[in-house]
Amino acid sequence: MTNNIRVFLWLAVALALWLNYSQWQIDYGAKSVTTSTGAVETDSSGAPKPSDIADAVPQVVQPATDAPVASDAVPAVATQQAAAGPDIESAKTRKIRVTTDVLVLDISLTGGTLVRAELPGYPLIKGEAAPVVLFNTDAPTTNYVLRTGLASSDDPNGPSHLATFTAPADSFTLAAGQDELRVPLTWTDGKGVTVTKAFVFKRSMYAIDLEYQIVNGTQAPWHAVSYARIVRSDPPVERSMFKVESYATRGPAFGEGDKYKKLNIEKTDDATLSIKVTNGWIAGMQHHFVSAVVPDHETPHTFTMGVKGREYVLTSLGEVQTVAPGATRTIKETLFVGPKLQKQLETLHPELSRVADYGVLTLISRPLFWLLDHAHSIVKNWGLAIILVTFMLKLLFYPLSEKAGRSMARMRALAPRMKILQETYKDDRTKLGQATMELYKQEKVNPLAGCLPMLIQMPVFLAFYWVLLESVEMRQAPFFGWINDLSARDPFFILPVLNGLAMWGQSKLNPPPPDPVQARIFQLMPIVFSVMFALFPSGLVLYWVTNTGLSILQQWNINRKITAEDAARKR
């Protein structure tokens, strides 16, 4: 029994040390060398100054053989600079507004850049009107836009993100009963080349189809390469144990096929990324929300990243397309602006849902979320879904839990005999240990069997934590009564108190520790866990309370069976 208790204590100490070491590494660990350490530069009005890496147009190199190729260089070394286009202040004033049932989007007529995105269905604070806003050009340290365009070797002032487009209206609205809304922007060189850049919105979808229709009315071929660029100033996040969202995954990322890679702007290798990818995507992540670009799956694209201070520029650059004289050509790609709704993300790319990043426990968290999602489709309440999935997991591991529970019940039945041994060998710890092990062997009891359920529960517990933390589906999701947000802590700490009571009840069904010091520690455990769980998301505490309650019922039933079996043997 002593060994069993010590295993629990050592597991707790190891977990505490690991958590403290991880936090120390975040706060004080060595940092990689960055390409620049300066803040985002601002002009006299306080607006962000255009940076080379953010505003340069990708260069299209056309060899003498008339077989143009796109430069793989990082956009910072491209030739056309922001000075060639209008300044940021004028770009702010020239924009159109698009309103759908799920998005309110501002598109600048300078390049068709997405400069603001409101999500009416996701209030910043539950119960208040102000929505989550993704793109932003108002604050110097939080510049965030999504730029798209065509770079042409035939026209240095072509339809890039610096070019001036025209629109048939100042605002567009998805009307009731309308399933699709097209927002066309037009550019022409005045010599016969016209580009219609259309954003296509669909009801209830955060995905935006982007189509370039290129009409070449000249007598010469016209060459262009499409590109999309996420530009974001990403200030460091202040870590706080009182704000679980501060540990959520954020920053740039990209995917290739079934591969997924997070990028760290403080690592030189990531900050100078340049890689050719087929069937990939790029994304700018934050807690619960994401902006992403999914280019054509069959065409190779070059993904590059540049970093200046805390600003990163993640670019997807296509291959050169040739439009013959008198011909028309269409280039398509897909943008995503909104919450990390995994079903919607997977319709764009099977692995794009990985931006809901569950970390090292992804192998457990993803099927766990799948179970929760299916349970929610039945019970229509995420809290009930958590209870239902907890019950299913309990059934799944019941054979192992029953074996451990029977061992614990046997040890509880041996408590009087253990007390006699302790009194007999109170002055000889060695003989006490030998006599104890002999008793376990004689009664076929494994003192470590009780640890197995705990070892199984801890990864599931941590996986539940990440599912609640990263899954926007459960953001601000209500349960019943006082629990109106399962991703936030219990406002009245009722669930943590119930958890403490449940742990105390569970301890009464287990064998008492033989050592007085260990017994006192275990008496304090319900209080310690109640205080600790007071800071956790209420959905996580709901899982633990449900799991503990089911464990109590299971252990009570096993104890009852063991008592009946012992009574039958005595007869």
More confident residue, 57 or 85: 57
- Spatial neighbors of 217 by CB under 8 A, at least 6 apart, are 192, 193, 194, 326
φ, ψ at 328 (rounded to 5°) = -125, 140
Q: How far apart are CA 373 and CA 353, in angstroms?
A: 14
pLDDT-derived band at 71, boundaries 50, 70, 90: very low
pLDDT of residue 554: 83
Q: Which sequence spans correspond to the domains of the chain?
A: 2-24+366-570, 50-357
pLDDT at 49 over 60: no
DSSP state at residue 71: -
**pLDDT of 487-542, one tens digit each?**
888 999 999 999 899 988 887 776 666 566 666 777 788 888 888 888 888 998 99
pLDDT of residue 364: 92
Of 228, 282, 279, 281, which Cα lies nearest the Cα of 252? 282
For the domain made up of 50-357, the CATH class stated in words is mainly beta
pLDDT of residue 252: 96
**pLDDT of 219-238, one tens digit each?**
999 999 999 999 998 777 66
Query: Which secondary-structure segment (H or E) carries 392?
Result: helix 382-396
More confident residue, 143 or 452: 143
Cβ pair 502, 511 in contact under 8 A: no
- Residue 231's region, left for phi above 0, alpha for psi from -120 to 50, else beta, is beta
- Spatial neighbors of 455 by CB under 8 A, at least 6 apart, are 11
pLDDT of residue 22: 45
pLDDT of residue 21: 45
Other Cβ atoms closer than 10 A to 490:
25
**pLDDT of 260-318, one tens digit each?**
999 999 999 999 999 999 999 999 999 999 999 999 999 999 999 999 888 999 999 99
Q: How far apart are CA 286 and CA 245, in angstroms?
A: 9
Which residue has 């406002």 as its token pair?
Answer: 491
Mean pLDDT of 187-214: 97
- Which SS3 state, helix, strand or coil, does residue 332 take? strand
Which residue has 């993704």 as its token pair?
Answer: 134
pLDDT-derived band at 136, boundaries 50, 70, 90: confident
Q: How far apart are CA 207 and CA 197, in angstroms?
A: 16
Q: How far apart are CA 148 and CA 70, in angstroms?
A: 16
**pLDDT of 401-434, one tens digit each?**
777 777 777 776 777 777 787 778 877 778 777 8
pLDDT at 30 over 70: no
Terminus-to-terminus CA distance in the chain, angstroms?
Answer: 29
C-alpha radius of gyration, the chain, whole number: 30
Strands 60-61 and 69-70: antiparallel
DSSP state at residue 74: -
Q: How far apart are CA 248 and CA 243, in angstroms?
A: 10
Q: How far apart are CA 532 and CA 448, in angstroms?
A: 26
pTM reported for the whole predicted model: 0.79
Helix, strand, coil percentages in the chain from 3-state DSSP, rounded to 5: 40, 25, 35
Mean pLDDT of 449-455: 65
